[in-house]
A and B are shown apart, each in its own frame.
Chain A
């Protein structure tokens, strides 16, 4: 049986009855201070119940019979912080497709029709640190609503068409993410404050969305959804006993979540960085600054909340009065205290200001914060802040939903039920010294990371006074091409395009007639701040011998392939190529551009949708079938020459998988061949180096000694 833990009709919550005499000084009372303020009527805590089911589900219920409506909200211990870094977007899309895709019994579209014909609402979502579900229905639809909700939470099927739809929407959101400066500042600012890899800072990219599969969603759901992760809040026109029964019934037999809850990701104290996004279409700047704050169980919690009310958390604050009203620098300015219940919050200040006063406004904010550290607040400010907090406390109790959701939050994060009472008590007794102590313990203006978005050229300063400036590039990495299924028509078109390309490069005969080849190229790259040049000399004797010599500033290296044997030569000695390394070397000979042209019939060539690459209209052809990897040849639609070749590659620095792009910027004509002369090499759209083919010889004499061990 379930444990029934009834907090029956709690009656009166002993709250502080807010009876602050408006003014004690009372020398010359202002007109509004003469108005009598009677004692506030008692705040009655609404009666509610807390029930814990055997399967671990926790339910808070409050009956409310004023209107024939039932509202249910579920909080679920799940979030995007639990998704893999290369699949950012998995959690959000799982939360969405649960509902949009529906279940075996009720597909998403049928569900839409059913709900909307009854005026019901049922939604699911997964956010960063929480997931949830929400149901609102007329009283007579309660059973149906609850059954639908339980079915969706337990048995989502994640159909492919709804996944595709969710992905399209995610992609559209990515394409629009730089439209609004505040969004840019918040998104990029989080990366600056938390560190770019932090689970609470990372965000979707085309690649992370593309990486998510149906199986990922099914797994993610199984891992994190279960009755033991659920907190329900039910409010409305029902009988609590019947409601609990209904919930038990509809959720009966649901297995607990498969994965253990991991520890929360840690938030580090990072030193200040100064970051700027230059966007020259803006006439105003958005500036955010912040650093890690504290949890609400810190002894300084009440202190910084009071302090923030004085600094920038309200209608009439130092920041507002000084920066907006007195100096007229900004339309919008404010601060957040830096507290959180689960995670330490972010102490933050922000402003939106015209371009010409960006540095001035930023500076003025930092000055105001520093003043909070250096000097006591005034008696008047303290009294006002306290009055504001204590007099508005009643609004913490004006909605049953708010009260019960707070209960859930306290329970989840381990706060006592009387947390608010204690908080009010501390606010009531707060002294100026305590405020200053809290501010000095938590706020560190010199540590605030600054993030500004605006038209940098129009600013009144270059921000270097705040620290070394990093210009942040917010260019959205382009999506990988989506390869549709090949059709006979697209394969034929692809082959024709590649034949045309080969013609433009010299023709089938020229390539077939190649017995030997010599190619010397130079690659200039900047690696970790050093400008380095690599020279490569490649000698080929077709069909199966290659000698490659790479001269680097750190010494020479060569690699030799003779049929089914190969070895590498370095200052450390010879090493035989085996397994993957050997087959990779063999594949390369067959799949470099000359190899493709020589053996075109061995490849599958699939034409893709024409697209613009750096402003050049290209016909992309997906070339595969030899070796493990594919290449996409982007052929200049006007000339049929290769404009760019994209392929999966490895970062030469980290070995991580990257998208490699080789652009041909200049061609040369040698011995009847039309071959690249200047190329650019990009990894994940970042320029790695520029190459020049300084020598290209068809059918030269090749020293056979090169192929001796």
Chain B
């Protein structure tokens, strides 16, 4: 931190709160001096804070890539790749690498075949199916039930079927052998036509598709023969790893766990090799299984998740925030291992990686093991997304009718985290919608008793690119999203017209100071903050500058920025309107 900046910080603190400034300056400025850092030749940046009270350490690996870096066709890939980072390396997770790679290559071919079949055959089948449905529609109503049985029979039999002109359904065997009668349904002319159409036109395509699918399944099984299931996680677990997890957002991918400090070298080996030398094994199994299930759980089976995805699509039209991190189902289906390897190569390199280690470690040990195990990661330039979100100009509004409970969301475009107005956004969203004294809570929850929750935050869905300020409110039983909308807008307009009070601004500053200190406690919390600021602002020292930036916000800043963002043309609104169940 430049000396002038620090001086300024101390001055600002001294002016606003003498006692607090003394206490703060005495602690976290010292802390800042204890933080050390180094960069490997390949660009991987390490930040280390030694804390020796308990023999454990926490780390965060931040990879500067998220779903915003995906282009159409590969949405969901950053998240899939995060899953793949638990599948091991050329040394971990497989029993016979050479043969495994062969089996994986065969699996890739089978996938391409299957994908081709899906993209070509399914539309053809669907087209024929609608023709078939018309044929079935011609069957008299009183025969529909019995025809349903015929259909079921045909599907059950699964073998070759023929129908003779007298209306008998038969199983056909190899040429020359006599056909075998199944059951005489006494089929009428229309029914015979329908069965014929199905047997001649649709079934061959269905069978071809089923074959491709089976070949793909077989290839997956063959590749899985060489997998030592979850070996990577198991090593961490049996060595006492704690809190093993990872997450992907629009902006970044994070990996973390805590380890006993005598396993620093083992950690460096595990973390370095999964970033340098991953084997993308079980790629299709993971994609078709857990990743797909996760999409179902978060989005398809969750009414709010469904709305949020559409909301995001509508609010952000151009930049990387347009699509959700989980990705579109068809992209999840179509992404290949080659796509994944390509994405990995483009983004998982030294220029995109920050590792923060906090705990009972020594800088020199971290350096030594980092050199040894992270140097194989290739160098590269930090990933950037160059499509900017254009100005919105038109107000957007969407209503989802759903049997679930009602909801109100509104989003306003704001600039990104490195813009000078970012702290002003934070002040505005804090006063508007954080905590029990926020304006939305006081008005909607406490006074008008219209909502159970009413809140606002800046940084949706990410903060790296042009971002959003989100307001959301959940109505009390019996009220609708529409009931909340007018009141929310009224409260927002008050800020535009009158700004906020000096007391409100002072309270935000006080809370920021307190939360800042709380955030520094614990190894994991500290590692998280360091890696976060390094990744987003290119310098972890900005962690210590955040309080100062908030301190500098004035009442006029708030009025100016509120007038800029809170205009209808910058707003996207979404409402869930509860639809009574048809039953």
Bound CA–CA A393/B260 (angstroms)? 9
Say yes or no: B238 contacts A387, CB within 8 Å.
yes
The interface bits of chain A over 319-336 (1 if a CB of B lies within 8 angstroms of the residue's CB, else 0) are 011001110101110000
Kindly identify, within residues 240 to 297 of chain B, every residue whose CB is under 8 Å from any CB belonging to chain A. 240-242, 244, 258, 260-263, 265-266, 269-270, 282, 285, 288-290, 292-294, 296-297
Bound CA–CA A352/B294 (angstroms)? 10
Who on chain A is nearest to B517 by CB? Answer: A67
Question: In the complex, which of the residues A32, A69, A165, A283 contacts B269, with contact meaning CB atoms closer than 8 Å?
Answer: A32
Say yes or no: B54 contacts A398, CB within 8 Å.
yes
Who on chain B is nearest to A479 by CB? Answer: B477
Interface size on A (CB < 8 Å)? 81
Say yes or no: B229 contacts A316, CB within 8 Å.
yes
The interface bits of chain A over 297-312 (1 if a CB of B lies within 8 angstroms of the residue's CB, else 0) are 0000000000000000
Chain B residues whose CB sits within 8 angstroms of the CB of A137 once the complex forms: 514
The interface bits of chain A over 620-642 (1 if a CB of B lies within 8 angstroms of the residue's CB, else 0) are 00000000000000000000000
Say yes or no: B506 contacts A117, CB within 8 Å.
yes
Chain A residues whose CB sits within 8 angstroms of the CB of B405 once the complex forms: 172, 175-176, 179
Bound CA–CA A283/B306 (angstroms)? 14
With A41-B360, A315-B230: A324-B262 Cβ-Cβ less than 8 Å: no
Say yes or no: A321 contacts B230, CB within 8 Å.
yes
Chain B residues whose CB sits within 8 angstroms of the CB of A37 once the complex forms: 239, 262-263, 265-266
Say yes or no: B294 contacts A331, CB within 8 Å.
yes
Who on chain B is nearest to A615 by CB? Answer: B580
Question: In the complex, which of the residues B27, B52, B403 contacts A66, with contact meaning CB atoms closer than 8 Å?
Answer: B27
- Is A143 in the interface zone, CB < 8 Å from B? no
The interface bits of chain B over 219-235 (1 if a CB of A lies within 8 angstroms of the residue's CB, else 0) are 00000100101110111
Chain B residues whose CB sits within 8 angstroms of the CB of A139 once the complex forms: 23
Bound CA–CA A388/B238 (angstroms)? 4
Kindly identify, within residues 34 to 74 of chain A, every residue whose CB is under 8 Å from any CB belonging to chain B. 35-44, 46, 66-69
The interface bits of chain A over 656-689 (1 if a CB of B lies within 8 angstroms of the residue's CB, else 0) are 0000000000000000000000000000000000
Say yes or no: A69 contacts B240, CB within 8 Å.
no
With A140-B23, A168-B477, A283-B301: A397-B54 Cβ-Cβ less than 8 Å: yes
- Is A392 in the interface zone, CB < 8 Å from B? yes
Which residue of B262, B269, B292 has the most chain A CB atoms within 10 A of its CB atom? B262
**Minimum CB–CB distance for A66 against chain B, Å:** 7
Kindly identify, within residues 32 to 51 of chain B, every residue whose CB is under 8 Å from any CB belonging to chain A. none
Which residue of A46, A284, A330 has the most chain B CB atoms within 10 A of its CB atom? A284
Question: In the complex, which of the residues B20, B266, B302, B523 contacts A180, with contact meaning CB atoms closer than 8 Å?
Answer: B302
Chain A residues whose CB sits within 8 angstroms of the CB of B3 once the complex forms: none
**Minimum CB–CB distance for B563 against chain A, Å:** 26
Bound CA–CA A332/B301 (angstroms)? 15
- Is A399 in the interface zone, CB < 8 Å from B? yes
With A42-B55, A284-B297: A31-B91 Cβ-Cβ less than 8 Å: yes
Stretch at the interface among A83-91, A108-116, A193-201, A458-466: A108-116
The interface bits of chain A over 427-464 (1 if a CB of B lies within 8 angstroms of the residue's CB, else 0) are 00000000000000000000000000000000000000
Stretch at the interface among B206-214, B445-453, B528-536: B445-453
Say yes or no: B436 contacts A43, CB within 8 Å.
no
**Minimum CB–CB distance for A24 against chain B, Å:** 14
Question: In the complex, which of the residues B261, B293, B580 contacts A40, with contact meaning CB atoms closer than 8 Å?
Answer: B261
- Is A584 in the interface zone, CB < 8 Å from B? no
Interface residue tally on B, bucketed by range: 35 or more
Say yes or no: B240 contacts A18, CB within 8 Å.
yes
The interface bits of chain B over 467-494 (1 if a CB of A lies within 8 angstroms of the residue's CB, else 0) are 0000000111100000000000000000
Kindly identify, within residues 274 to 321 of chain A, every residue whose CB is under 8 Å from any CB belonging to chain B. 281-284, 314-316, 320-321
Who on chain A is nearest to B504 by CB? Answer: A117
With A112-B437, A326-B229: A35-B285 Cβ-Cβ less than 8 Å: no
The interface bits of chain A over 113-125 (1 if a CB of B lies within 8 angstroms of the residue's CB, else 0) are 1001111100000
Say yes or no: B240 contacts A391, CB within 8 Å.
yes
Chain B residues whose CB sits within 8 angstroms of the CB of A589 once the complex forms: none
Kindly identify, within residues 392 to 442 of chain B, every residue whose CB is under 8 Å from any CB belonging to chain A. 403-405, 435-437, 442
Say yes or no: B297 contacts A352, CB within 8 Å.
yes
Chain A residues whose CB sits within 8 angstroms of the CB of B52 once the complex forms: 41
Say yes or no: A324 contacts B289, CB within 8 Å.
yes
Which residue of A116, A176, A321, A393 has the most chain B CB atoms within 10 A of its CB atom? A116
**Minimum CB–CB distance for B230 against chain A, Å:** 4
Who on chain B is nearest to A315 by CB? Answer: B233
Chain A residues whose CB sits within 8 angstroms of the CB of B92 once the complex forms: 30-32
Chain A residues whose CB sits within 8 angstroms of the CB of B512 once the complex forms: 119
Say yes or no: A164 contacts B435, CB within 8 Å.
no
- Is A354 in the interface zone, CB < 8 Å from B? yes
- Is B378 in the interface zone, CB < 8 Å from A? no
Say yes or no: B230 contacts A281, CB within 8 Å.
no
Say yes or no: B476 contacts A168, CB within 8 Å.
yes
- Is A169 in the interface zone, CB < 8 Å from B? yes
Bound CA–CA A280/B507 (angstroms)? 49
Q: Which residues of A contact B (CB under 8 A)?
A: 18, 30-32, 35-44, 46, 66-69, 100, 109, 112-113, 116-120, 136-140, 164-165, 168-169, 171-176, 179-181, 281-284, 314-316, 320-321, 324-326, 328, 330-332, 352-354, 383-384, 387-388, 390-395, 397-399, 479, 612, 615
A116-B436, A180-B302, A392-B241 known, 20 other contacts, Cβ within 8 Å:
A41-B360, A42-B55, A66-B27, A68-B27, A100-B436, A112-B435, A118-B510, A165-B449, A181-B301, A281-B301, A283-B296, A284-B296, A325-B227, A384-B238, A388-B240, A392-B240, A392-B242, A394-B54, A395-B240, A399-B522
18 contacts between A and B (CB under 8 A): A18-B240, A37-B262, A39-B262, A41-B262, A43-B55, A67-B27, A68-B27, A100-B436, A109-B442, A119-B515, A136-B518, A165-B445, A172-B477, A326-B224, A331-B290, A354-B296, A392-B260, A398-B54
Q: Which residues of B contact A (CB under 8 A)?
A: 19-20, 23-24, 27-28, 52-56, 91-92, 224, 227, 229-231, 233-242, 244, 258, 260-263, 265-266, 269-270, 282, 285, 288-290, 292-294, 296-297, 300-303, 360, 403-405, 435-437, 442, 445-446, 449, 452, 474-477, 503, 506-507, 510-515, 517-518, 520-523, 580
